């Protein structure tokens, strides 16, 4: 069992093995958060390393006011968003001018399912979504954070998180239904 307080205490006393345990415990979480926000694999790897450096440097400030996973996810989110802003990459993540009439590309399910992998198809659809939608879907469904925790991680108000989840699910549903019927 992973005891957050024990591990953090050991890390603060200089126990490097305890930090290795922390990294092992949260590396998938950090990668999931970074993966949805950043496109290039090399950048993803660099940002994940940067996140754990920041976690290590900031641990003395961690006061257990939130779960350690929430705090680490917040660092990952902010680091990834900062990278996206710095790189000034105009990703498909930017909100379209008229978000209510946002549509995915016209790729057909046949082209997306060449690999015969439904998960890859859904991930492709999620990757085409605006940044906030991708983020809340990932944190809520893949990392199983609550809406309140997502607010702590992203700084997006809880009501807006719920709205983004609703809209993102609707976009996915509409696209899948459209593709099935055509």
The string of pLDDT tens digits covering residues 59-99 is 999 998 889 999 999 999 999 988 888 876 444 445 555 55
| Helix/strand/coil percentages in the chain, nearest 5 | 75, 0, 25
> Using an 8 Å Cβ cutoff, are 159 and 80 in contact?
no
Predicted local distance difference test score (pLDDT) of residue 109:
56
Is pLDDT of 26 > 50? yes
Neighbours of 129 (CB within 10 A): 23
pTM of the model: 0.67
Domain architecture of the chain: domains with CATH = 4-87 (1.10.1740.10), 99-181 (1.10.10.10)
pLDDT band of residue 41 (cuts 50, 70, 90) is confident
Predicted local distance difference test score (pLDDT) of residue 127:
82
Cα 164 from Cα 34, distance rounded (Å) = 19
Mean of per-residue pLDDT scores for the chain: 83
Angle between helices 68-87 and 41-58 (to 10 degrees): 130
């Amino acid at each position: 069992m992973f005891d957050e307080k024990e591990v953090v205490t050991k890390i603060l006393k200089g126990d490097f093995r305890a930090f290795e345990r922390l990294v092992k415990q949260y590396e998938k979480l950090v990668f999931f958060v970074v993966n949805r926000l950043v496109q290039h694999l090399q950048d993803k790897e660099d940002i994940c390393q940067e996140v754990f450096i920041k976690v290590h440097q900031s641990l003395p400030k961690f006061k257990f006011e939130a779960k350690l996973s929430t705090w680490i996810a917040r660092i990952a989110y902010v680091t990834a968003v900062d990278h996206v802003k710095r790189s000034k990459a105009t990703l498909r993540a930017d909100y379209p001018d008229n978000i209510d009439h946002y549509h995915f590309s016209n790729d057909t399910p046949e082209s997306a399912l060449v690999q015969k992998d439904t998960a890859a198809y859904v991930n492709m659809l999620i990757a085409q979504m605006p940044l906030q939608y991708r983020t809340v879907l990932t944190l809520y469904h893949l990392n199983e954070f609550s809406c309140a925790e997502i607010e702590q991680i992203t700084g997006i108000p809880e009501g807006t998180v719920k709205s983004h989840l609703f809209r993102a699910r609707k976009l996915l549903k509409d696209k899948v239904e459209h593709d099935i019927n055509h």
